[in-house]
């Protein structure tokens, strides 16, 4: 990753992210009423619903152009916050792949996370029975059948791949899974543009220009960006990184009211296509 960063920085300085606004993509085929019903559904806990004010799932999925009849790949779904939305959204009409931790991982953390996710799916086969669980890791790069996906989405995961040294390979795998003309939607904690990018992204923050250059180096073309998930209150200078903010509150009760007032992190939201 260090070599990649050294290559990308001259490119990054030439990026004019703060320039003219990019036209917003059309939302033809996005079923907003279906999303509204799902967001209010009983499959979502009150705690998960409370995060909608920061994560803007309806607006984000509309920006990405998600349709119920699509084949969608969700990358690193974690405990399934977005799966609770995407699974019901494509149920009976499209297809959802969830690329989680590999089942043969040596990490107890990964194994526990994968089990929680599989248990969630098993508890509601009426909503999630058609989801196919795949994996993403350096030795697990087939997220879905090659050229099968209409849309790949990833939410706040890029820093993890940077930290583990396979960010470029991860996006190359997404490129392979997509159909020509397919869409990649990326949301990530946005790093400060006045500081160099840590190649390992140990704070959890990633510069937007760095992300764009990295993703385009995997073959993608950026077509739109959005400030849907922006938060100008986020100063991005915390000793414990982005996890200082809600919902993690890594500092415990220390300055908790201050961080609660800031809210969740400032995030960039980008849309790419596979040419």
Model pLDDT for residues 81-135, shown as the tens digit of each residue: 999 999 999 999 999 999 999 999 999 999 999 999 999 999 999 999 899 999 9
- Residues β-bridged to residue 96: 72
Instruction: Look up residue 16 and give its DSSP letter.
Output: -
- How large is the average pLDDT for residues 137-149? 97
Q: What is the tens place of the pLDDT at every residue in 3-52?
A: 444 444 444 434 433 333 333 444 579 999 999 999 999 999 999 999 99
Domain positions in the chain: 2-14+28-273
Number of Cβ within a 10 Å radius of residue 218 = 19
Q: What is the pLDDT of residues 174-197, one digit of tens each?
A: 999 999 999 999 999 999 999 999
pLDDT digits (tens, 9 = 90+) for 226-256: 999 999 999 999 999 999 999 999 999 999 9
C-alpha 167/C-alpha 169 separation (Å) is 5
Measure Cα distances from 186 to 45, 107, 171, 250 in Å. Answer: 24, 26, 10, 25
Rounded Cα–Cα distance for residues 172 and 66 (Å) = 21
Give percent of the chain with pLDDT exceeding 70: 90
CA-closest candidate to residue 188, choices 238, 153, 223, 141:
153
Look over the chain and give the mean of its residue pLDDT values, rounded to a whole number.
Answer: 92
pLDDT > 90? residue 223: yes
pLDDT attached to residue 27: 57
**Which helix (H) or strand (E) segment is 226 a member of?**
strand 221-226
Share of the chain above pLDDT 90, in %: 89
Superfamily per CATH, domain 2-14+28-273: Vaccinia Virus protein VP39 (3.40.50.150)
Containing 271, the helix (H) or strand (E) segment is strand 267-273
**pLDDT attached to residue 28:** 72
- Give the whole-angstrom CA distance, residue 180 versus residue 273: 8
Check residue 169 and give its pLDDT.
98
């Amino acid at each position: 990753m260090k070599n990649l960063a050294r290559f990308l920085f001259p490119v990054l300085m030439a990026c004019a992210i703060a320039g003219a606004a990019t036209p917003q993509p059309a939302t033809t085929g996005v079923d907003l009423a279906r999303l509204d019903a799902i967001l209010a559904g009983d499959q979502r806990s009150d705690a998960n619903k409370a995060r909608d004010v920061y994560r803007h799932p309806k607006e984000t999925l509309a920006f990405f152009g998600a349709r119920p009849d699509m084949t969608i790949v969700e990358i690193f779904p974690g405990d399934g916050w977005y799966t609770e939305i995407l699974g019901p959204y494509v149920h009976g009409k499209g297809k959802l792949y969830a690329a989680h931790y590999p089942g043969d991982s040596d990490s107890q953390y990964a194994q526990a996370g994968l089990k929680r996710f599989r248990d969630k799916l098993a508890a509601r086969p009426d909503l999630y029975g058609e989801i196919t669980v795949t994996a993403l890791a350096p030795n697990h790069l087939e997220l879905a059948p090659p050229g099968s996906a209409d849309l790949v989405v990833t939410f706040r995961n890029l820093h993890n791949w940077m930290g583990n040294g396979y960010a470029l390979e991860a996006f190359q795998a997404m490129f392979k899974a997509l159909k020509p003309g397919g869409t990649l939607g990326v949301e990530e904690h946005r790093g400060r543009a006045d500081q160099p990018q840590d190649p390992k992204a140990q704070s959890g923050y990633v510069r937007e220009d760095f992300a764009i250059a990295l993703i385009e180096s995997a073959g993608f073309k950026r077509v739109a960006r959005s400030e849907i998930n922006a938060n100008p209150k986020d100063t991005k200078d915390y000793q414990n990184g982005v996890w200082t903010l809600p919902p993690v509150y890594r500092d415990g009760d220390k300055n908790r009211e201050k961080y609660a007032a800031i809210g969740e992190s400032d995030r960039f939201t980008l849309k790419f296509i596979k040419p």
